[in-house]
Amino acid sequence: MEIKNLSLTVAAVPGAVSAILTLPEKPICILTLAHGAGANMHHAFMEALVTALAGAGIATLRFNFPFTEQAKKRPDSPAVAQQAIAAAIDKARELYPSLPLFVAGKSFGGRMSSQYLSVNHRKGVAGLIFYGFPLHAAGKPSMDRAEHLNLVKVPMLFLQGTKDTLATWDMIETVCKSLKKATLVKLEGADHSFKAGKNKDMIPVLAEATKDWVKKKIK
C-alpha cells in the first residue's frame, strides 16, 4: 500500500487544501472521500475506513474541506464545500484516468457530494457512496434533505445504521425505495458513527459492502 500527501486547489479559498492518496497494489477503482462536519480527514474513522478499503483493493483520495484546513469550527457553505469535492474529483481523474471513479463521503461529506452531483453530472463518475446520509437533524425527522437526490444521475449506495439519529430508519428506507438508482445496506444496531457495541467493529463491514457494490458497477 502506498500513501501520498497531496494538495487540492479550491477556487473558494486562497491556496489549497490537504489531501491524502491511499493506493493499494492493484486497485479496482478509486473513490474520493469527504469527511463529516465534526471531523477532518485524519479522524480515526476516516483512517480506519481508508485502510480497510485499501485492503479490499479500493484506492481513496480523502481531503480536508476548507473550514477544517483553516481550523474553523463552522462548516463551509454548500458552494464552498462542493468546490472542494469538484477539485478532488478532478485530481482523482487526473492521477488515474483509467480507474473507475466513485464519489463518497461521511455524513456532511456525502450530502455535499450528492448536492454537487445533482447539478453537475460529471462524466466518468461511476457511483456515489454514503457512509451515513444525514437525512435530518437529531430529534427532528424530516425528508427535506433528500429532495435533491432525485436529480443524481449515478447509482447510489447508502450504508446506514438502524440506530442512526440523523436518519430514522423508516424514513431513510422510504427515501431509498423512491430512488431508482439507490441501494440501501442495513447495518443493524449501528449509530451515525457506525458504533454498534464494544465488541463489534463495523469498519470491515463497511469496506466489504463497498467492495461488493462497486464490483457490480464496474463489470
Which residues are within 8 A (CB) of 196 and not within 5 positions of it... i.e. 6 or more apart?
161, 163, 187, 188, 189, 190, 202
What pLDDT score does 142 carry? 87
- At 189, the amino acid letter reads G
DSSP 134: -
Neighbours of 205 (CB within 10 A): 17
Contact 155, 115 (CB under 8 A): no
Contact 132, 61 (CB under 8 A): no
Record the cell numbers describing residue 151, joined without a space.
Answer: 436529480
Neighbours of 155 (CB within 10 A): 20
Task: Render each residue's pLDDT in the chain as its tens digit; 219 residues.
Answer: 899 999 999 976 666 899 999 999 999 999 999 999 999 999 999 999 999 999 999 999 999 999 999 999 899 999 999 999 999 999 999 999 999 999 999 999 999 999 999 999 998 999 999 999 999 988 888 888 999 999 999 999 999 999 999 999 999 999 999 999 999 999 999 999 999 887 789 999 999 999 999 999 997
> What domains appear along the chain, each with residue ranges and CATH number?
2-217 (3.40.50.1820)
Q: What is the pTM of this model?
A: 0.96
What pLDDT score does 197 carry? 81
Strands 16-23 and 2-9 come out as: antiparallel
What pLDDT score does 23 carry? 97
